[in-house]
Amino acid sequence: MITAEPATRPGPYQHYVYAYPHKTAYRPLPDRPPLRALWSAEPKDALSLYLHIPFCEVRCGFCNLFTRIGAPDGLTGAYLDALERQATAVRDALGRTDDVRFATAAFGGGTPTFLTAAELDRLCDIAEHRMGADLRAVPLSVEASPATATADRLTVLADRGTTRLSLGVQSFVDSEARAAVRPQRRADVEAALARVRDARIPVLNIDLIYGIDGQTEQTWLHSLDAALSWRPEELYLYPLYVRPLTGLDRRGPDGPHAVGDPAWDEQRLRLYRAGRDHLLAHGYTQQSMRMFRRADAPPQGADDYACQTDGMIGLGCGARSYTSDLHYSFDYAVGMHQIRGIIDDYVAGTLSDFAHAQVGYRMAPAEARRRHLLQSLLQAEGLRLDDYRARFGGAPADDFAPELERFADRGWLTDSDPTVLRLTPEGLAHSDAIGPELFSPAVRAAMAAYERK
């Protein structure tokens, strides 16, 4: 174990880092670079494809994702029309050559299963016929909610090659679901899980949240045991956050706690450790702070959409795309009025509009190194030093000595294997503090200057 004098520790729950930089660092691109130029020199033999559906039946109180509640008549069809136009423009920009291959695919949101069964079929057609992704030959992950995981939708997804279905449950305790502003009954959740198992999709993931008002260690373990009764291949355990402009945030002084509340931090850490130990004792292996996989589960592709490599093709108004030099998307918002406007603009987009990048963040070489370190280190297996050296020509300590020394001072790094930079169990527990500490000054400044909307 690396040891040193203890340093001042930040609170454990600063920011959930699932992509770097965060979209609040993105800005309009004045030159609107053509996609054909952006992708011309990029490797295209192992691309990731992500399709974003920005609709949900309800907006959970903790949610700050890009999504709107419901859809007027005709909007989902018009959205799929725009998605098809975008796919046509993007596929043309990639070049119609035999070296374009997709290695993974995912449908996220929002709630992709907000779409009807027929619309889901069309979504798959767009991925296959417009983009050229063979959904039956690559890992395909789809997000769903209990209310929209209906038999007809699941049949379409299973028939089209879905290998992983992620169900947002959050809690099996009805009172906790209400406290998180997620109106659902356990009976409906159980019925949805039964339908997912009947569909025989190989991997079931269940999302759960800890830190909800009124939640105790007993009720947390009750939810975990309820989930374990379905023997899910994967479980994600998320700490609750109260983000600006979300439903929980709008409750004001009477709502749950905010970042930096010591009592709430301690509650969440206690529940995290209880949940982690419970899953490890039941045959699961820890992949990251949040992600646990059953030891005998079938292998999948990347554990998330924000992997260390570039080559991400995102379709839809909330999706990111990654080249080695530029991360780009469309405008970002959390407020309902602004989200609706962005969706309307997307639906009105033309082939010419979709042939250019509009909003993004240019990735300097130093940012690419930082991103690789950040997203590798937050995985339980850590960062292989020879991989870093092969990609960047040096060692992480050459580029990030102050940060790594701080982490070592806090007991968050282990030296048990000199070939790997890896977090200790306590380091993994503090992933949401480690990630933000690795943000560059430029990204911090851009995020701080972002005008919330």
- pLDDT tens, position by position, 171-200: 999 999 888 877 789 999 999 999 999 999
> Which residues lie closer than 8 Å to 101 by C-beta, 6 or more apart?
44, 45, 46, 47
Residue 29 has what pLDDT? 97
Q: Look at domain 365-449 and name its CATH class.
A: mainly alpha
Residue 253 has what pLDDT? 52
Retrieve residue 27's tokens: 């800005």
Among the listed residues 146, 183, 152, 150, the one whose alpha carbon sits nearest the alpha carbon of residue 166: 146
What's the farthest any 2 CA atoms get from each other in the chain? 62
- pLDDT tens, position by position, 221-270: 999 999 999 999 999 999 998 765 555 545 555 555 665 688 999 999 99
pLDDT at 436 over 70: yes
- pLDDT tens, position by position, 45-78: 999 999 999 988 765 545 556 677 788 889 999 9
CB atoms within 10 A of CB 138: 18
CATH of domain 23-294: 3.80.30.20
Q: What average pLDDT does this structure show over 115-134?
A: 97
Residue 371 has what pLDDT? 95
Cα–Cα distance measured from residue 127 to residue 390, given in angstroms and rounded to the nearest whole number: 33
Residue 251 has what pLDDT? 56
Residue 61 has what pLDDT? 47
Cα–Cα distance measured from residue 319 to residue 313, given in angstroms and rounded to the nearest whole number: 8
Beta carbons of 224 and 275 less than 8 angstroms apart: yes
Residue 299 three-state SS: coil
Average pLDDT, the chain: 90
Q: What percent of the chain shows pLDDT beyond 70?
A: 90
> Which residues lie closer than 8 Å to 45 by C-beta, 6 or more apart?
99, 100, 101
Q: What average pLDDT does this structure show over 79-106?
A: 94
* Residue 353 vs residue 66, higher pLDDT: 353
- pLDDT tens, position by position, 264-300: 999 999 999 999 999 999 999 999 999 999 999 987 6
Domain locations in the chain as residue ranges? 23-294, 365-449
pLDDT band at 301 (very low <50, low <70, confident <90, very high): low
- pLDDT tens, position by position, 127-150: 999 999 999 999 999 999 999 999
pLDDT at 4 over 80: no
